Amino acid sequence: MQSGYAMPSTSEMQGFQYFIYMDTKDLIHKKYQINDRECFVLRMITQSYLQNQAMRVSDVLRLKEFASPATLHNILKSLIKKKSLSVSTDPKDGRVKYLKPTTMTLNMYREMTGEFIKISTSA
């Protein structure tokens, strides 16, 4: 099928590795069965974890500009069911629940980082 457009040359593609990375990221998310909304929430929780900051369920539910509390709660339930997140209860206050990425999630991000490095250095 001819569209009237010529494929960009290799030199024209340099500097646009972003698109290759995004396609790769999407494939990795598919491998781990993570959808776009789950990706956003999981990334926030993992970034907090890597900065040694505890993330509570209530912190996620406050992201009303992203989704309703009910939707956010369903996203958390899905990520827990997929074993992407673990939950622990505060020993002093049983109502407080902390979220932490699992080893599987950390491995997913390591895989993405490795792909990003490969793509960004292949220019």
pLDDT digits (tens, 9 = 90+) for 57-77: 999 999 888 899 999 999 999
48 found inside a domain? yes
Map 75-115 to HEC letters: HHHHHHHCCCEEEEECCCCCCCEEEEECHHHHHHHHHHHHH
106 found inside a domain? yes
66 found inside a domain? yes
Report how many domains make up the chain. Answer: 1
1 found inside a domain? no
Q: Is the pLDDT of residue 86 over 90?
A: yes
pTM above 0.85, yes or no: no
74 found inside a domain? yes
pLDDT digits (tens, 9 = 90+) for 5-54: 666 666 666 667 888 889 999 999 999 999 999 999 999 999 999 999 99
More confident residue, 7 or 108: 108
Q: Is the pLDDT of residue 1 over 60?
A: no
Instruction: Identify the CATH number of the domain in which residue 101 sits.
Output: 1.10.10.10
How confident is the model at residue 13, as a pLDDT? 62
Distance in Å from the first CA to the final CA of the chain: 29
Nearest-angstrom CA–CA distance, 71 and 64: 10
13 found inside a domain? no
What's the angle, vertex CA 85, arms to CA 79 and CA 90, rounded to 5?
A: 125
pLDDT (average), residues 84-88: 98
4 found inside a domain? no
Q: Which domain does 87 fall in, by range? A: 31-121
17 found inside a domain? no
Q: Is the pLDDT of residue 2 over 60?
A: no
